[in-house]
Amino acid sequence: GGIITQTPKFLIGQEGQKLTLKCQQNFNHDTMYWYRQDSGKGLRLIYYSITENDLQKGDLSEGYDASREKKSSFSLTVTSAQKNEMAVFLCASSNGWDEQYFGPGTRLTVL
């Protein structure tokens, strides 16, 4: 078994601020993903990475940067937080042609 850890659990930011979310996995999975989920809504892919130092844009990449520093970690940066923005950011990992395992999420609130 393995686990995905996301930090922080809760993130409160100011409008215009640059905010970084971190994700670590110990499954030894190749592929990692960042999703955004707005309240009661579906998952939207922001970025994914199929190996260390690889980055692929998802449907919602504008306004975000990502970094796959090493196989086990994948960071997401909100480049300029939008006022009144509220969402949960979910990190996931998978081993090629297999299921994704999701982390517990980071809940973002922008004041």
Partner 1 sequence: GDSVTQTEGLVTLTEGLPVMLNCTYQTIYSNPFLFWYVQHLNESPRLLLKSFTDNKRTEHQGFHATLHKSSSSFHLQKSSAQLSDSALYYCALLSNTNKVVFGTGTRLQVLP
Q: Which residues bind partner 1 (CB under 8 A)?
A: 31, 33, 40-43, 45, 48, 50, 56, 58, 90, 94, 96-105
**Nearest distance from C-beta of residue 17 to partner 1, angstroms:** 26
**How is residue 87 written in tokens?**
């969402």
**Nearest distance from C-beta of residue 73 to partner 1, angstroms:** 18
Query: Are the beta carbons of 104 and 8 closer than 8 angstroms?
Result: no
Question: Helix, strand, or coil here: 88?
Answer: strand
DSSP-assigned letter for residue 72: T
Distance CA 87, CA 21 (A): 13
**Nearest distance from C-beta of residue 109 to partner 1, angstroms:** 16
